[in-house]
Amino acid sequence: MGVGILSEGVVVPAHPLALTAERRLDERRQRALTRYYLAAGAGGIAIAVHTTQFEIHEPERGLLEPVLALTADVLDREADRDLVRIAGVVGPTAQAVAEAELAAGLGYDAVLLSPRLAGASEDDLIERARAVGQVLPVIGFYLQEAIGGPVLSRAFWRRFADLPSVVAVKAAPFDRYRTIELVRGVGESDRADEVALYTGNDDAIVADLTAVHRVPTPAGTRELRFRGGLLGQWAVGTRAATGVLALAKRAQAGDADAALELSGLAADLTDLNAAVFDPAHGFAGVIAGVHEVLRQQGLLEGIWCLDPAEGLSPGQAEEIERVRLAYPHLNDDAFIAEHRDGWLR
């Protein structure tokens, strides 16, 4: 079913990178993470994305193909249902196209196209997306400015959604104004009904999943909603995330009890995200924070990143322990403890 699943609304964790103390790929734990996401009920996997660390795309590291292949192998052997397989691609057009071709050869369904491109104009980004879309369906990505994302106009998102290869857009500017501009841009496109909106605003997950956006167009007012999430936050607590999305769908259908329960989770999720993503220090510990949750749960051996300078901020480990204890309904601790040894086999 591939990209068709996106229109249904699914949980897509942004897959981390498991490393040894020597900062080499830890294949056993990398496989264990993918097995966790499968068992937790994820509707897709996004790999080689920001949470996997953008450094994975540096050719001298030799990691991109092995990591994509390893994830695909686990899914080929062990997935018992249809999922959407998403590979992150970066860089100038030639690099992005080559990475998309690699992903296509390994059986991926779509690419998440990073907007980080030094000196690129909106026209340049549109033409790059057009070229990549000749290889695989494209998911757009509004990346927050704090980690290198550009500011993009409503007109850009309208033009982007107009591209026939675009199947979804991940909104992750961590900014309500820019999120609304993205939605309005997509809503003004003639292809709006063919482009699934996915939240990547890890600080406002419930807000995105419950919002109704009414976009005026020449053909009348169009209503848009976020269908699901492609999130670094959902790389942890993934089983709980499937429950959050199920509540959102029930609330959208008019279930008042689900809406009430969901509203009670909104602040909990944001507090949890603040500990993991480290906004107090400008998101410096965002990748290491995801690793630390998984380390405390026994899925990762350590929090090592490809960049030796990247790690937890002062007090972040204690904050993560605090939120894990405060919100057991969102962290999957018991589920992971029950199945971890099997995933690490």
Q: What is the CATH number for 313?
A: 3.20.20.70
Amino acid occupying residue 255: D
Residue 60's domain comprises 2-343
265-304 as b/e: b if 16+ CB within 10 A = bbeebbbbbbbbbbbeeebbbbbbbbbbbbbbbbbbbbbb
How far is residue 170 from each of residues 42, 59, 195, 254, measured CA to CA in Å?
Answer: 17, 26, 10, 25
Distance CA 184, CA 79 (A): 36
Q: What is the pLDDT of residue 219?
A: 86
pLDDT in tens, 145-172: 988 899 999 999 999 999 999 999 999 9
The confidence band for 177, taking pLDDT boundaries of 50, 70 and 90, is very high
The residues that bridge with 46 in the sheet, in sequence order, are 14, 86
CA 143 from chain centre, in angstroms, equals 11
The confidence band for 1, taking pLDDT boundaries of 50, 70 and 90, is low
Write down the mean pLDDT value for the chain.
97
Distance CA 156, CA 210 (A): 25
DSSP code string of 152-191 = --HHHHHHHHHSTTEEEEEEE-S-HHHHHHHHHHHHTSTT
Tokens of 326: 């405060």
Give the mean pLDDT of 3-29.
97
Q: Percent helix, strand and coil across the chain, each rounded to 5? A: 55, 15, 30
Quote the pTM value: 0.97
Contact status, residue 300 vs residue 18, Cβ threshold 8 Å? yes
Distance CA 185, CA 187 (A): 5
pLDDT in tens, 203-234: 999 999 999 999 999 889 999 999 999 999 99
Distance CA 244, CA 231 (A): 13
* β-bridge pairing 196-199 and 166-172: parallel
* Overall domain count for the chain: 1
Contact status, residue 111 vs residue 87, Cβ threshold 8 Å? yes
Contact status, residue 233 vs residue 269, Cβ threshold 8 Å? yes
Q: What is the pLDDT of residue 191?
A: 97
Phi-psi region of 41 (alpha: psi -120 to 50; beta: other; left: phi over 0): left
pLDDT in tens, 90-135: 999 999 999 999 999 999 999 999 999 989 999 999 999 999 999 9
pLDDT in tens, 37-80: 999 999 999 999 999 999 999 999 999 999 999 999 999 999 99
* Cβ partners under 8 Å of residue 244, min gap 6: 205, 206, 209, 262, 265, 269
Give the mean pLDDT of 262-288.
96
Contact status, residue 157 vs residue 186, Cβ threshold 8 Å? yes
Q: Which is it for the CA torsion 90, 92, 95, 101, positive or negative?
A: positive
DSSP code of 81? S
Contact status, residue 289 vs residue 312, Cβ threshold 8 Å? yes
